[in-house]
Amino acid sequence: MNPGVVYAASAYAMWGVFPLYFKALQHVPSIEILLHRMLWSLVFVAVVLGWRRQWGWLREVLSKPKVLAGFALSALLLSANWFIYIWAVNNGHVVDSSLGYFINPLFNVLLGALVLRERLRPVQWAAVALAACGVGWLTWQAGSLPWIALLLAATFGLYGLLRKTASLGALEGLTLETLLLFPLAAAYLGWLALHGQNSFVHASTTTQLLLAAAGPITAIPLLLFASGARRIPLSLLGLLQYIGPTLQLLLGVWLYHEPFGGARMAGFALIWGALAVYSLESVWRAWSAPAARA
């Protein structure tokens, strides 16, 4: 098997079982989990970069205000996405969070058309319209927008848009983002400690280790993804990305017993249909292009 498939599938599988990790920290406030994720992610990637002696890029980046501003914005979007996801998982919305990542690929297509002025093919427009019907159905059934899913898709989609045009790789980019977030995280955790509200200080050893594990748990799948993405076609990578939300959905329904009745399933089915249309058309074009050139 192509090692790229193993790397990418492993990354998506790890992202798919994230609810297990965050549920284990359910007794810790979501904002504190977020702060520790920022802190320990920086520690982990700094160790990796130190081991690889890969710090030369940082001095050059620090002298470019526009690059720093771009990464400051992507860091805010990433932290917002992290917080919404953590809060959703720990408040019984694992199924809603999975919907966000099912919608995300089609949201990216829409962003490409609206922001980057990419021309969408008719089948892509049909997929976007079908997904919009699914969101509309879920809104009508629930009486309100599926805001958790939409916010997750929007924050991660906009984050991806910024990183698409960024000059740094996955590891260096995450390092800079967590470095920019570090002062805020450290200051707030320090304030909580001064007021006796820092959960880490008073937590059991198990909880402290789980919070510290946020660093490798965040960075390792990102590194696996970056390694896999370089080795396999984009069309195959696009299909593998559904591993994550599928695992999240299964955990939400079967392990955490969140409601998933017929009406809700119908809305998901419309979005799954949109993803099938979009993915199959992309795969067909990817496979037919070499044949046409031959």
Which tens digit of pLDDT belongs to each residue from 94-129? 999 999 999 988 888 888 888 878 787 888 888 888
Residue in the block written with tokens 């789980």: 210
Higher pLDDT, 143 or 101: 101
182, 39 in Cβ contact below 8 A? yes
200, 211 in Cβ contact below 8 A? yes
Residue in the block written with tokens 């297990």: 20
CA 126 → CA 101, 105, 112, 181, 235, distances in Å? 19, 14, 15, 39, 18
Higher pLDDT, 111 or 266: 266
Q: How many whole angstroms separate alpha carbon 38 and alpha carbon 218?
A: 9
Residue 115: exposure state from Cβ atoms within 10 A (0-12, 13-18, ≥19):
exposed
CA 77 → CA 90, 133, 162, 184, distances in Å? 20, 27, 10, 15
Q: What is the pLDDT of residue 209?
A: 95
Residue 227: exposure state from Cβ atoms within 10 A (0-12, 13-18, ≥19):
middle
Q: How many whole angstroms separate alpha carbon 9 and alpha carbon 78?
A: 22
Q: What are the tokens at 144? A: 């309100």
| Closest-CA residue to 157 (of 119, 194, 112, 205) | 112
- For residue 204, give the DSSP letter: -
Of 29-38, 164-173, 213-222, the range with the lowest mean pLDDT is: 164-173
Q: How many whole angstroms separate alpha carbon 116 and alpha carbon 119?
A: 9
Evaluate if pTM is beyond 0.85. Answer: yes
Of 4-18, 112-126, 130-144, 228-242, the range with the lowest mean pLDDT is: 228-242
Q: How big is the chain by its Cα radius of gyration, in Å?
A: 20
Measured from the Cβ of residue 97, the count of other Cβ atoms closer than 10 Å reads 25
| Closest-CA residue to 91 (of 30, 33, 166) | 30
Q: How many whole angstroms separate alpha carbon 99 and alpha carbon 138?
A: 11
